[in-house]
Structure 1
């Protein structure tokens, strides 16, 4: 079975009333535009909201009733951003607190409680995506041990949850677990694969220049599960030296846009943000940029999206699948690439539904 949803981290609200207003403004019209009786959501809650809901069964029941009344169903959660995801400048702060910090564990436990009560009865399990431990520096052996202890504590919580909930660790360029290969190598010998697996973000995968099919096969070969796929596309340019002006349009101050260059000798060169890449990378090989671009609307030449990576992943991922469309960058796209948010989200979901042969739940 395939479950398709969109991630609500695209909406800036960080209190419960604001979240409901955002859903009324965007999610309900998206559902109506698609002609669906029920629309799947990948819910993002800031830490304070998650804590308040986790502390109150009454509040969780109210939220479930509000969602049901709107024809909305939470089938997964995104617990990567802790809060402030739509601040004027996010950049490296999105990787805080790390898995070495008790606040990260507490937040994730709260999300387990919330998702357990929001998950529809006909959904077998729910996944919660999280950051790949933290930004790569500073990171020590002691940090490694602290993060592992926190994940072990979370696993005990997951085992005792009345609903089947799994953690999905999301590799991201620049982090401790930068690539899928890094993540598999770190997780496989350390975690219980019944409860902890991967969130495979196809934008991040594309940026790494890893082979999509072999990547999926490597995860399953290691005995780990792809808990969910975040359907997303990166920017690709074959000749960055000839496309500097077009690339510069995507250099914006809110989010970090890591860049990787595939050098002629096959090595992958790295820059932590697009402005840095424009100054330091040689541009002798193609670039991929961590900038989530709309699935249905590839940018104009000489840029393009990496939707080919997404489609290869979706035809390779085995079994039960949760697919979460996660284009959170609508508000920071260059002006000429923007469109109405309801139209944009609906078009992305329709594209995914048609191209990936999946059903909107």
Structure 2
């Protein structure tokens, strides 16, 4: 049975008390609304908290007990944001510290220590998603070597944990537009000759995949042909607009410009060239707008944006179908990751705790109905 989770990076919390409060305020009500006995969480732990938990077995046991008491379980952690993910302005800071910084290695190893004690007894493996090395600039061949050394060190740590615990924790590198590993093709090319695929693979974020205009089925084939695997899927959808130069499209897109997160935009021309802008405000002034746009803005899976905008849920469906035809047994971990609820326009679903709880529950029900086998929620 495929573990399905929702990612808690949608909730602001920087300490254990805040995380535990999330469980009561959001996660348990979502579980009840979905109507399952056990609900999966893709837990986000800021670096300071991850370090505290890694250093204190008693705190890890407390967190595990609190999860169990509420019918919640953790197969996967999101270790992409290091901290401050709900600051007033996040933008490029989410890509720091980079994989050239020892702090990134330490944070990820701490997350592995925590996850090993949170995994349910039924889990085959645990997964941790991470950033695609860094934002693309500055980056040098020397940085390649430092990052390779860091991932090799992490692999040694994960291999030792697997030998001790009997099941692996696996790192899932998440390509993202604008980063060193901008596309899945970039990630495959960089990772395949450098990493041990038993411990390091890909996080396939289907919003990022859609923004890159890559073919989902061909992308899945390329990953497995390289010897790598999809360790984790972040089930997500991007904004799409077929004719971004029109007045109604411009007005609709302007509603999605906001100051907290980066919203990279790609325009695919008739010749197949993909033009790039690093954020939506820049795209509205710099891209020609003669051809379709896709925008890195995670939108709820179950609710299509109002015309003339749409969502790339078909990319998600196709990617999951390709994985189902590729893997021998169950799918990788699937995590619904719509972290943007707090910055959605009012017309797109923003509306306080009740709307958030109902919205996430609706996304999870959509994922079961559209992506997984009947009864697949765990």
Establish whether TM, by shorter chain, passes 0.5.
yes
Partner of residue 343, structure 1: 358
| Corresponding residue to 2:210 among 196, 206, 209 | 206
SS in 1 for 2:132: coil
String of CA shifts for 1:16-52, please: whole Å, max 9, x gaps: 0111111111100010011110000100000000000
Contact 1:29 1:342 in 2 (8 A): yes
- Once the two structures are TM-superposed, the CA of residue 173 in structure 1 deviates from its matched residue by 0.2
Partner of residue 360, structure 1: 377
Partners of 2:372 and 2:140 in 1: how far apart? 44
| Corresponding residue to 1:264 among 266, 270, 290 | 270
- Once the two structures are TM-superposed, the CA of residue 298 in structure 1 deviates from its matched residue by 0.8
| Corresponding residue to 2:320 among 314, 321, 326 | 314
Partner of residue 289, structure 1: 295
TM-score normalised by the chain length of structure 1: 0.99
| Corresponding residue to 1:231 among 235, 245, 248 | 235
Partners of 1:169 and 1:295 in 2: how far apart? 23
Partner of residue 81, structure 1: 81
Partners of 1:143 and 1:356 in 2: how far apart? 38
* Equivalent runs, 1:110-189 vs 2, <5 Å: 110-161=110-161, 162=165, 163-189=167-193
Contact 1:77 1:128 in 2 (8 A): yes
Partners of 2:359 and 2:184 in 1: how far apart? 29
- Once the two structures are TM-superposed, the CA of residue 192 in structure 1 deviates from its matched residue by 0.4
- Once the two structures are TM-superposed, the CA of residue 345 in structure 1 deviates from its matched residue by 0.4
Partner of residue 280, structure 2: 274
Stretch of structure 1 that moved more, 44-53 or 335-344: 335-344
Partners of 2:236 and 2:34 in 1: how far apart? 20
Partners of 1:315 and 1:25 in 2: how far apart? 34
String of CA shifts for 1:232-276, please: whole Å, max 9, x gaps: 000000000011110111010000000000012110000000000
SS in 2 for 1:291: strand
Partners of 1:245 and 1:54 in 2: how far apart? 47
SS in 2 for 1:9: helix
- Once the two structures are TM-superposed, the CA of residue 2 in structure 1 deviates from its matched residue by 1.1
| Corresponding residue to 1:302 among 308, 312, 319 | 308
Unaligned segments of structure 2, at least 5 residues: none
- Once the two structures are TM-superposed, the CA of residue 164 in structure 1 deviates from its matched residue by 1.2
Are positions 1:330 and 2:334 aligned together? no
Partners of 1:203 and 1:23 in 2: how far apart? 26
Unaligned segments of structure 1, at least 5 residues: none
Partners of 2:366 and 2:198 in 1: how far apart? 32
- Once the two structures are TM-superposed, the CA of residue 357 in structure 1 deviates from its matched residue by 2.5
- Once the two structures are TM-superposed, the CA of residue 7 in structure 1 deviates from its matched residue by 0.4
- Once the two structures are TM-superposed, the CA of residue 337 in structure 1 deviates from its matched residue by 1.0
Partner of residue 246, structure 1: 252
Partners of 1:6 and 1:328 in 2: how far apart? 10
String of CA shifts for 1:53-104, please: whole Å, max 9, x gaps: 0000000001000000000001100000000000000000000000000000
